[in-house]
Amino acid sequence: MAIGGEDIKINYIPIREARAMSGLRVVLGAFTIPGPWHEAVKGICYVKGLDYTPVSSSNEGASDLQIGMDGSQSELIEWTAQSSAPVMIWNDERPRSQWNDQLHLAERLQPTPSLIPEDSADRIRMFGLANEIMGEGGLLFYKRHFIVSVSLESLPEAAPERAFFTALGDKYGYSEAAIAHATQRIVEILQTMDAQLSQQRAQGSRYLIGERLSALDIYWAAGCGFFDPMPEDRCPMGTDFRQPHFYGSVNKEIDTALTSELRAHRDFIYEEHLQLPIVF
C-alpha cells in the first residue's frame, strides 16, 4: 500500500500471508470505523511516507468484530502474543502493539520528519500528554467504558450482541467503579489538553508541542474523533456508530470540555497533515 497515494480503500491481507512477508506490516483489522489507535498509526505512517502492508486482525473470512470470542483471532495471538490491534511488525523483529513502541519504530524506519521533539522538556511533556490520551487509564480508555456500559444497559438480556460487549468489558477492565469515574477523568484530560493548546497559541504556535507537528497532534486528531467524528464526507462511517456512546460525547460535561478550540485543532491537523477523507 503506497501511503499518500490516491487509494480510496485499504486492501487487507490475512495474517497467514503477512507472516510470510518481510518489510513493514501493520495489523489494523478490517474495520469501517475510525478506531483512534488504528488511525494514529495510519497517521504516523502517512506523515512519514512509510509504506506498509495492511493486515486484517482475524482469520480470512472471519469478522474482526468478533474479538476472538470464537477463536477467530488465534492467528493474531500466535503471531503477536496478544489479541488487540493495531500492531506493527518489521521484518523478523518483535511485534509492537503499544502506541509508544510503534512511534519509536516509525521514527527509526523513517527519521524525517521526526514526530518526537528534540528538546528534552518538550519530549517529556509530549509523551506525558500522549499517555493521557492513548494509555491505559487515559482519555480513550475511559471512553471505551461507555461503549460497554450503555450497550449492556440497552440490550435485552437474550440479545446475542451482549456477548461481544461483555467480552470487550472483561478485556479492558470495565466495572461499575470505572464507569462512575469515567466522566471526571475524561473531563480532566480534555481540560488539560485545552490548556496546553491555549498556552501554545499564546506563544504563537499552531501545534500542541513546540513549533511543528509532533506525534501528540496526531494522537489528538485521531482521538478527538472518538468524541466528535468528522462529517461523512471526511469520515465515511456507518450511521449506527454515530451514537454518543460509540463515537460522540456521551454527556453534557464531556461535550462542554471538548471545546471548539480542541475540535478546530483536530480539523487543522487533518487538513494540513493527514489524509482526507479517512480511508478504511
Place of cell 510503534: 102
Return the DSSP state at 66. G
User: How many C-beta neighbours within 10 Å does residue 183 have?
Assistant: 18
Residue 50 lies in a domain: yes
Residue 2 lies in a domain: no
The reported pLDDT for the residue numbered 80 is 94
User: 58, 82, 109: which is the final residue of a domain?
Assistant: 109
Q: Which three cell numbers stand for residue 5?
A: 497515494
The reported pLDDT for the residue numbered 58 is 63
Whether 130 and 264 map to the same domain: the answer is: yes
The answer to whether the beta carbons of residues 67 and 164 sit under 8 Å apart is yes
The reported pLDDT for the residue numbered 7 is 46
Place of cell 468478533: 66
Residue 115 lies in a domain: no
The answer to whether the beta carbons of residues 16 and 75 sit under 8 Å apart is yes
User: 50, 76, 109: which is the final residue of a domain?
Assistant: 109
User: 109, 133, 152: which is the final residue of a domain?
Assistant: 109
Whether 234 and 145 map to the same domain: the answer is: yes
Number of independent structural domains in the chain: 2
Q: Which helix (H) or strand (E) holds 124?
A: helix 120-134
Three-state secondary structure call for residue 157: coil
For residue 169, give its domain range: 120-273
Residue 212 lies in a domain: yes
What is this structure's pTM?
0.91
Sign of CA dihedral 248, 253, 257, 260: positive
What is the distance between the alpha carbons of residues 236 and 248, in angstroms, rounded to a whole number?
15
The reported pLDDT for the residue numbered 256 is 98
Whether 161 and 93 map to the same domain: the answer is: no
The reported pLDDT for the residue numbered 117 is 98
Place of cell 480539523: 267
pLDDT tens, residue order, the chain (280 aa): 334 444 467 899 999 999 999 999 999 987 778 999 999 999 999 999 999 999 997 655 444 444 444 445 788 999 999 988 999 999 999 999 999 999 999 999 999 999 999 999 999 999 999 999 999 999 999 999 999 988 888 888 888 888 888 888 888 888 888 899 999 999 999 999 999 999 999 999 999 999 999 999 999 999 999 999 999 999 998 778 899 889 999 999 999 999 999 999 999 999 999 999 999 8
